[in-house]
Amino acid sequence: MEKCNICDSKLEKLTFIFSEYFKKFFKYLGICKSCGHLQIYKKYSLLEHKKINDQFFINTYKNQDLDEKNKKIYQKRLDKLKRLMHDQKLDNIKVLDFGAGQGIFTDFLLNKSCQYYFTESNESSIEKLKKKGGIQLESSFEEIKDIEKFINFFDLIILRHTLEHFILPNNWLSIFKKILKDKGKIYCIVPNCGIIDKLEFKAGFRTDFLRPVHISYFNNNNFKRILNLNGFKIIKNEISGELFALAENSKEKISNKFINDYEENKKKLEV
């Protein structure tokens, strides 16, 4: 039985989806009857997921640094972090940029005298970030290597368009809770699935939104829910084409009362 990434309840199989990025990619989308979360119906094995991610990001990163359009996009992402974190301490802290990609935030954080750690699977990105002064934290799609060295270690973890890639997001949030200090924070951004019915569709579904590397499709309700369920208190929340949350590692009992989005999300996919 296929189960929900958030509440572990039974999934209902929905529509067939495909991807313009992979000629032989065919999957179904699933929806949770208990909370309304949308995700890939039958998840990949870890080996399959690694192969798909490697293929996707090798193509994505190729020559991006030389592309003026992408440089402007990177700057907007950095400006967004500066705006959303303007009232937070960023000097001389220990930061983990999980899935750092092209290192959009690397120079900014190193210039603030941060201890900048990162994870990344793309070899060219790893080499680039190391040259800048970043420290690679070795990880797989399941775990962080030598995690015992990093218990209660980090002040801030950056998850920019990362949470939606996890096959087992609850497991990873549990790991992040262990390696964050008490009241340490997660800066988390994911695509906003709440606006999926407003997007321009192609041949049934907008295939550059329903990407094969994305396992989960969050609306704001379930985005906040999964953070709360794993012991993170929402400090800030912003809704646009992306969902943003600044979530604090908390020992408090956190209320987790949310509505079931099953009917609403299912209706949005009836096109």
Per-residue 3-state assignment (H helix, E strand, C coil) for the chain: CCECCCCCCEEEEEEEEECCCCCCCEEEEEEECCCCCEEECCCCCHHHHHHHHHHHHHHHHCCHHHCHHHHHHHHHHHHHHHHHCCCCCCCCCEEEEECCCCCCCHHHHHCCCCEEEEECCCHHHHHHHHHHCCEECCECCCCECCHHHHCCCEEEEEEECCHHHCCCHHHHHHHHHHHEEEEEEEEEEEECHHHHHHCCCCCCCCCCCCCCCCCEECCHHHHHHHHHHCCEEEEEEEECCEEEEEEEECCCCCCCCCCCCHHHHHHHCCC
**Closest to 21 (Cα-Cα) out of 67, 62, 48, 57:** 57
User: What is the model's pLDDT at position 204?
Assistant: 47
User: What is the model's pLDDT at position 183?
Assistant: 97
Pairing of strands 154-160, 38-40: unpaired
- pLDDT at 28 > cutoff 50: yes
**Closest to 252 (Cα-Cα) out of 269, 239, 235, 265:** 235
Mean pLDDT for 35-47 is: 87
- pLDDT at 81 > cutoff 90: yes
The whole-model pTM stands at 0.92
- pLDDT at 22 > cutoff 80: no
For residues 81 and 251, give the distance between their C-alpha atoms in angstroms, rounded to a whole number: 26
User: What is the model's pLDDT at position 103?
Assistant: 94
Q: Which residue has the tokens 């009992």?
A: 253
Q: Helices 220-229 and 169-179: crossing angle, nearest 10°?
A: 50
For residues 259 and 43, give the distance between their C-alpha atoms in angstroms, rounded to a whole number: 25
Mean pLDDT for 155-159 is: 98
Taking the CA atoms of residue 77, residue 243, residue 142 and residue 54 in that order, the dihedral angle to the nearest 10 degrees is -50
Looking at the chain, the whole-number percentage of residues with pLDDT higher than 90 is 62
- pLDDT at 153 > cutoff 80: yes
Mean pLDDT, rounded, of the chain = 88
- Mind listing the pLDDT tens digit for each residue in 220-258? 999 999 999 999 999 999 999 999 999 999 988 887 778
- pLDDT at 129 > cutoff 50: yes
User: What is the model's pLDDT at position 45?
Assistant: 82
User: What is the model's pLDDT at position 198?
Assistant: 66
